[in-house]
Amino acid sequence: MNYKVHPTAIIDPSAVIGEGCEIGPYCIIGPKVILGKNNLLLSHVIVNGPTTLGDGNKISSFAVIGTDPQDLKYNGEDTFLEIGNNNTIRESVTINRSNGPHEPTRVGDNNLLMAYAHIAHNCQIGNYIVIANSVNFAGHVTVGDFAILGGLTAIHQFVKIGAYSFIGGCSAVKKDIPPYVRGQGNPFEIHGLNGVGLLRKGFSSETVMGIKRVYKLFYRKGLNTTQAIEEAEKMDLTPEQKLFVEFVKNGDRGLTK
């Protein structure tokens, strides 16, 4: 056995535990759970299946992972949760499996989920995301890479949050938030481009200015969304500009103003 299990931990015989894992005191690993290599479960962690974790995740005490979705349509069938690599999941975080077998709940790689955050069924969480304390996701929320969500924020179901966006604490997010922007409020309002954050992530000043030109079409020119898309598509779009425009075109909840 190439992993460590505390004598008080309970592991279902069908669970698969990868090399180098450490399972701390009073953890419970249920059936249909697969842990990759070098995962650390500190103490009192519950993981139910079907759930798959990649490698190198650190899960703090009282986190509850892979429980049934909080959805009245759920009928008890096998549904799924997939968690990637190198995530830090802090105390009392809860992550639910999906509400049906067609789509798993997903959490990507290298994310920080701070204490008491809740990820509901069918959410699709990308990579390198910071989710602060007590952020609550309803079902089917999508979050792009490198987004930052401030504490005590609530996200409406089916909302899409773009990559590199910044959401201030105590916000109530009811509509889609495009990439690269920052804002705060109840209801959430966009306050401008997340320029400082983009520069810190290695974007050049030229790239940020290009993003700003597209941003202004949607937020500074007095155009409606359809008109702004039409104007943007007349441009020779950079990859960053195209990401912004395609996000707006594929939104479900309408664009935050």
Is position 31 within any domain?
Answer: yes
| Residue 10 and residue 136 in one domain | yes
Cis peptide bond N-terminal to 50, omega within 30: yes
* pLDDT, the chain, mean: 97
pLDDT category of residue 252 using cuts at 50, 70 and 90:
confident
Q: Is 2 exposed, middle or buried (0-12, 13-18, 19+ CB in 10 A)?
A: exposed
pLDDT (tens digit per residue) in 106-154? 999 999 999 999 999 999 999 999 999 999 999 999 999 999 999 999 9
Q: Is 130 exposed, middle or buried (0-12, 13-18, 19+ CB in 10 A)?
A: middle
Instruction: Report the alpha-carbon distance of residue 211 to residue 198 in Å, rounded.
Output: 10
| Residue 112 and residue 203 in one domain | no
Residue 48 has pLDDT above 90, yes or no: yes
pLDDT (tens digit per residue) in 72-112? 999 999 999 999 999 999 999 999 999 999 999 999 999 99
CATH number at residue 19: 2.160.10.10
Q: Which residue has the tokens 């109840």?
A: 186
Instruction: Single out the residue of 97, 106, 102, 166 nearest to residue 131, CA to CA.
Output: 166
Residue 12 has pLDDT above 90, yes or no: yes
| Residue 207 and residue 135 in one domain | no
| Residue 13 and residue 128 in one domain | yes
Is position 72 within any domain?
Answer: yes
Q: Which of 140, 161, 185 is the last residue of a domain?
A: 140
| Residue 230 and residue 135 in one domain | no
Is position 125 within any domain?
Answer: yes
Is position 65 within any domain?
Answer: yes
pLDDT at 257: 82
Q: What is the pTM of this model?
A: 0.96
pLDDT (tens digit per residue) in 212-233? 999 999 999 999 999 999 999 9
| Residue 134 and residue 202 in one domain | no
Residue 182 has pLDDT above 80, yes or no: yes
User: 72: how many CB neighbours lie within 10 A of its CB?
Assistant: 7
Residue 1 has pLDDT above 80, yes or no: no
- Structure tokens belonging to residue 117: 């955050």
Is position 174 within any domain?
Answer: no
Any residues with CB less than 8 A from the CB of 46 and at least 6 apart, and which?
27, 28, 30, 63, 64, 65, 67
Is position 121 within any domain?
Answer: yes
Q: Which of 140, 173, 208 is the last residue of a domain?
A: 140
| Residue 112 and residue 211 in one domain | no
CATH number at residue 202: 1.20.1180.10
Is position 90 within any domain?
Answer: yes
| Residue 110 and residue 210 in one domain | no
* Domains of the chain: total: 2
pLDDT (tens digit per residue) in 189-218? 999 999 999 999 999 999 999 999 999 999
Is position 33 within any domain?
Answer: yes
| Residue 136 and residue 204 in one domain | no
Are the C-beta atoms of 4 and 21 separated by less than 8 Å? yes
Instruction: Report the alpha-carbon distance of residue 249 to residue 251 in Å, rounded.
Output: 6
Instruction: Report the alpha-carbon distance of residue 86 to residue 43 in Å, rounded.
Output: 18
| Mean predicted confidence (pLDDT) in 154-164 | 98
**Which long-range CB contacts under 8 A does 127-135 form with residues at least 24 apart?**
127/84, 132/169
| Residue 235 and residue 110 in one domain | no
| Mean predicted confidence (pLDDT) in 51-79 | 97
| Mean predicted confidence (pLDDT) in 41-53 | 98
Are the C-beta atoms of 115 and 93 separated by less than 8 Å? yes
What is the domain range of residue 231? 198-249
Q: Which of 90, 106, 140 is the last residue of a domain?
A: 140
| Residue 94 and residue 8 in one domain | yes
